[in-house]
Amino acid sequence: MGSGRLYAAVAAGGFRRYATYRAATAAGVFTNTVFGIILVYTYLALWDERPHLGGYDQTQAVTYAWLGQALYSTLAIQGGGAEKDLMARIRTGEIAVDLYRPADLQLWWLASDLGRAVFQMLGRGVIPFTFGALFFSMALPQDITTWVAFLVAVALAMIVSFGIRYLAALMMFWLMDDRGVTQTMMILGIFCSGMTLPLNAFPDPFGDIVQSLPWAAQLQMPANVLMGEVSPWHAYAFQAGWAVVLLAAGRLLQSAATRRVVVQGG
Amino acid sequence: MAEATRLGEGLRAYRLIAGMWIRSTMTYRTSFALTVVGNLLITGMDFAAILLMFSQVDSLGGWTLPEVALLYGLSATAFGFADLLLGSMDVLGGRIRDGSFDTLLVRPAPVLAQVGADQFALRRLGRITQGVLVLGYALVAVDVEWTAAKVLLVPVMVVCGAVIFGSLFVAGAAFQFVAQDAAEVQNAFTYGGGTLLQYPPTVFGTDLVRGVTYVLPLAFVNWVPAAYVLGRPYPLDLPEWAAFAPPLVAGGFCVLAGLAWRAGLRAYRSTGS
């Protein structure tokens, strides 16, 4: 029970840390909104040319675009969540302090990242999405159950997103310079999450491949749950499956890394 | 004469600082190679998105793939040069916050040159390479009756576009003196502008096109001059000569960015730490 409170406190800390920078949050909202507008117009032009592309109609494509902007920083799709700090701590050697703590390394960082994600969703996600709903026609559900089901899918997406970034961060134990990993993660994240184009609008067989990768659990699944394109239980099974695989892989890599840890600096 | 020496001093300082950052980057060669490729791929994702769209359709907003590629290549190459030379200016916000900006003020070199060269990132050659590749493809693939004016307009667009985007970076940096934590707002104009110009003007709403023509005239980076090259109707029915206005617009951007930078620098209050 005590450890539950510890991780709740860590999560609250992650939330508060990001909540401190109000001007930065407002700036992020503005930027996401501008990018949302640009993206929506390109989608409108595309769906104008090919109605029902990927099984979406125009309003669904618009909804998807705004959802992408709303979840962009929440799911740290191009990186930049807790893993950024973890990478820095491994590089500087401060990770030694974390390893001495009477807490689980992975759970500690997961809690911290979830706190961040929840803040980013409330602080940075809601306004661009509402802006989109006000100025463009979107396909939003009328019943509360679908919204709740959607929020559950977002929560699972947060865990999958952390799972991917935690693996990337642990690479620092071997590589020391984070730029290559960060960029690889960014490319895969933006592309395979469907930030550029919904994954169901990808040409076959490419579309089927990306839709089976863990990144599909991030944006595509919550979007499809919100728009009723997939049954929530199917989405949850897919997301939870990847979450378990990624977190287990994170554990394995973590134990390999800490067994050979040579602390930097001094 | 004094102005000329000052410019020379600035360029010299820029060259020295950028050279130092290049040497520092080269310490980790594998990482450098990876990041150049990474930069190329990351910036290429925008074009991959366009290719994905064209795998499903034959035209977007009435423009064909080679035509959109021309817009893309011009925007990405111009942006790439601005990004290489001045794209690291967003670290200025951090320097203002932690007080290390004071150090730049007491050094005997123009501050703008120091800030511009700060964290100079050679990996950004990746973006230029990618933009040039797409531009090269577009120039070969578009169906255009090339005249002397059209040929000349291509390098003019790239240079003026780079100046326009560079001015945005400088203005964005100046904005950080007052904005502090809100630094990300400048991304909406720099990266947002770059992305916007990769798509045909016919895709966007009229008000948005008006905004980027008359208020923040980014349309002169490529939309208007490229419409002339491709023999397409201009956005907003602009007059024929508007295609040759980019140098004028770029000059205006430079002057305004310079004024903004001076105003920002004057408004600077040190953290005192």
Residues A162-186 have pLDDT tens digits of 999 999 999 988 887 777 788 888 8
- From the list A132, A125, A138, A27, the residue with the least C-alpha distance to A70 is A125
How confident is residue B63, by pLDDT bands cut at 50, 70 and 90?
A: very high
Give per-residue burial for B24-37: e unless 16+ CB within 10 Å, then b: ebeebeebbebbbb
Q: Do B185 and A184 touch (CB under 8 A)?
A: no
Q: How do residues A97-126 score in pLDDT, each as one tens digit?
A: 888 888 899 999 999 999 999 999 999 999
- Indicate if the pLDDT at residue A2 is higher than 80: no
Could you give the CA distance from residue A92 to residue A265 in angstroms, rounded to a whole number?
6
Q: What is the pLDDT of residues B66-88, one digit of tens each?
A: 999 999 999 999 999 999 999 87
| Nearest Cα residue in chain B from A36 | B192
Residue B166 sits at the vertex; the CA angle it makes with B129 and B21, to the nearest 5 degrees, is 65
Please give the angle made by the CA atoms of B16, B18 and B19, to the nearest 5 degrees.
60
Residue B209 DSSP SS3:
helix
User: CA A49 → CA B54, B58, B60, B103, B247, distances in Å?
Assistant: 10, 8, 7, 56, 36
Q: For residue range A182-206, what is the model confidence (pLDDT) as tens digits?
A: 888 888 999 899 998 999 999 888 8
B36: chain A residues, CB-CB within 8 Å: none
Does position B271 have pLDDT exceeding 80, yes or no? Answer: no
Q: Is residue A12 part of a domain?
A: yes
Whole-number percent of chain A with pLDDT over 90: 71
B211 confidence band (pLDDT: 50, 70, 90): very high
From A239's Cα to the closest Cα of chain B, the distance in A is 25
Tell me: the pLDDT tens digits for B173-208? 888 888 777 778 888 899 999 999 999 999 998 999
Q: Which of B55, B184, B208 sits opposite A24 (nearest CB)?
A: B184
- Reported residue count of chain B is 273
> Would you say B163 and B254 are in contact if contact means Cβ atoms under 8 Å apart?
yes
> In angstroms, rounded to a whole number, what is the distance separating the alpha carbons of residues B52 and A119?
33
Percent of chain A with pLDDT over 70: 97
Both tokens assigned to B162:
């780079």
Q: Which domain holds residue A148?
A: 2-259
Q: Spell out which residues of chain A touch residue B42, defining contact as CB-CB under 8 Å.
A: 183, 186-187, 190
Q: For A241-266, what is the mean pLDDT?
A: 85
Query: How many domains are contained in chain A?
Result: 1
C-alpha distance from residue B80 to each of A21, A128, B128, B152, B221 (Å): 30, 28, 5, 20, 13
**pLDDT > 70? residue A74:** yes
Closest approach of chain B CAs to the CA of A190, in angstroms? 8
B196, closest residue in chain A (CA to CA): A38
Residues 6+ apart with CB under 8 A from A241: none
Estimate the crossing angle of helix A232-259 against helix A144-170, to 10 degrees. Answer: 20
User: B residues 118-137 near A, CB within 8 Å?
Assistant: 123
Mean pLDDT of A54-70: 94
Q: In whole angstroms, how far apart are CA B116 and each of A219, B99, B112, B121, B173?
A: 37, 17, 6, 11, 9
- Taking the C-alpha atoms of residue B48 and residue B149, their distance in angstroms, rounded to an integer, is 31
Measure in Å the smallest separation between the Cα of A4 and chain B Cα atoms. Answer: 34
Least confident of A23-32, A37-46, B29-38, B163-172: B29-38
Interface A:B, Cβ pairs < 8 A: 109
Instruction: Please tell me which residue of chain B has the smallest CA distance to A136.
Output: B205
Question: What is the residue-averaged pLDDT of chain A?
Answer: 91
Among A18, A29, A40, A46, the strongest candidate for a mutation testing the B interface, having the largest count of B CBs within 10 A, is: A46
In a domain, A265, yes or no: no
**What is the spatial distance between Cα A215 and Cα A163, in angstroms, rounded to a whole number?**
11
User: B273 falls in which pLDDT band (50, 70, 90)?
Assistant: low
Residue A264 lies in a domain: no
pLDDT, mean of residues B150-171? 94
Give the model confidence (pLDDT) of B131-143 as tens digits. Answer: 999 999 999 999 9
Asked whether residue A1 carries a pLDDT value surpassing 60, the answer given is: no
DSSP classification of residue A54? G
Residues of chain A contacting B, Cβ within 8 Å: 21-24, 26-28, 30-31, 34-35, 37-38, 41-42, 44-46, 49-50, 53, 175, 177, 179-180, 183-184, 186-187, 190-191, 196-197, 201-203
> Do the Cβ atoms of A49 and B183 come within 8 Å?
no
What the block records as the tokens of A133 is: 């709903």
